[in-house]
Structure formats: C-alpha cells, structure tokens
Amino acid sequence: MKSSKPDSEQTSLTSTKSLNFVRTCIENALDLLTTTNCTVCGNESFGRRLCPDCETFLNTTPAVSTKTVNNYEVHYFGFYEEKLRDFILAYKYHNHHSLCKELAKLTHNVIIAHRISFDIISYVPATKSAKKKRGYDHIELIVKQLSKMTEKPWIKSMDAVRETDQLQTADRKESVKGKFAMIDSASEMIVNKEVLLIDDVLTTGNTMSEASRILKMAQPTEIIRLVIAIKK
C-alpha cells in the first residue's frame, strides 16, 4: 500500500508526518491522563476518549440511500446533524485530529453497507489556508485510515490551488471553478481505475462536481463519491 506523492512534496510531507505522529501521541497520552469528558459531546466518559453514546454511534448503520446531486450519486453516512455533526465539529474545529480514525470508520461502514467496490481512494483536498490553520489536511488523515481499513491504496490526485471566495457564495458554482488542479504524477495511478472520491460534508455539491471534473482528466473508469455527511 503506497501513496504516490510528487517528489517535491516528499520532504515537507515527511516532516508533517512526523509532526502529526508526535501530536497524535501527545494528544492520546493527554486524553488518557485527563479525559473525564467525551472528546465529541463533552458528556461524562468515565476515563475514556468517548462516552458510551458516542462509542455506540460508531456502530450505527449508515443511511441506506444515496443522494443525487448535479446528475451524479453520492453515498453518505447521514445528515449533518446531532451526533454526526458533533463528531465532525470536534474533529475539524476543536482540533481533536485523532478522531480521524472514528470518521474513517463511519466511511468504512458506508462502504460495507452499500457494498462499494473500488480500486483506489482519493479525496477532495483542503484549501491551503485550512491546511495551514490545522497543520494537516483533515480529509487526508481520514483517507489514510480508510486505506488501512480497506487495504486499498490512496492517492492525492489534486491540489487546492485557489481559496473559495466566501463572499461569492451567492454563486457557489462559479466560486469553485479553478479551485483544484490535477497532480500530473497521480494520473497513472488513476487511469482505468475505479476511484473512490471522499469528502467530509456535502452542501451544494459544487465542490464535489469540480473535484470530479478534475479527476476525470486522468480517465478513471468510474468515480464513486462518498461523503460523511450531507447538509439538508
């Protein structure tokens, strides 16, 4: 199982990996020493990272239906509400990045429930500012875990080259245009493959459409889209 990264990214990637590893160790150690409240919902967790409710949620059966957005189907775990929203918020905005394993488990549950078969996993990359703010690409961490669970390779197929201008959200379709650029060296891993394209939350579907448009340039046989949550 191997990730194909452009050589130019290798050095910074190695240091980012080490940093993330150290962070995860520290965070997990601190969690064990200090946790009396659930990382996700804040309820009593009896010395564990997650409370019994949140642990139970990880075994929830995902939504059995898919949603059609912009003429394509999207598989999803559930709606962006209640417990699922808590998990995503804790992961993305409260810096509990070790929750990538739990979120990967939710995507894995969808793969099993929907009997999705694929050759390789890719993802919608975080914007540069989001990555800089968190110190890592939050979807990439989930995809790495999912790759271990499914024993399928993963690849970074595109870069986010432009920030989405939040002021232009009136026309989000326009605002995501040119947001991503294909990584040339990834093409050979994608051509003639069934690619599972992952994102965390689907709102209008325009970001997913734009990412799909870029991915198609590498001529996969199929793109299967999967998100953790869909906003109603």
* Residues forming the site for Zn ion (CB under 5 A): 38, 40-41, 43, 51, 54
| φ, ψ at 230 (rounded to 5°) | -115, 130
Q: How far is the CB of 61 from Zn ion (least distance, A)?
A: 19
Which tokens belong to 140?
């990439």
Closest CA to 76 of 109, 123, 125: 109
CB of 52: closest distance to Zn ion in angstroms? Answer: 8
Task: Name the residue nearer to Zn ion (CB basis): 44 or 73.
Answer: 44
Name which of 6 and 52 has its Cβ closer to Zn ion.
Answer: 52
The residue among 39 and 122 lying less far from Zn ion, judged by its C-beta, is 39
Packing angle, helices 100-113 and 82-93, rounded to 10 = 140
> In this complex, which beta carbon is closest to Zn ion, that of residue 54 or of residue 176?
54
CA dist 7 → 97, 184, 189, 230 (Å) = 26, 12, 15, 35
By beta carbon distance, the residue nearest Zn ion is: 38
- Nearest approach in angstroms of CB 45 to Zn ion is 6
Query: Which alpha helices (DSSP H) does the chain contain, by range?
Result: 7-34, 52-57, 82-93, 100-113, 128-134, 138-150, 172-175, 187-190, 206-216
Smallest separation, CB 138 to Zn ion (Å): 20
d(CA 44, CA 41): 9
Minimum CB distance to Zn ion, residue 184 (Å) = 43
Closer Cβ to Zn ion, 45 or 175, answer by number: 45
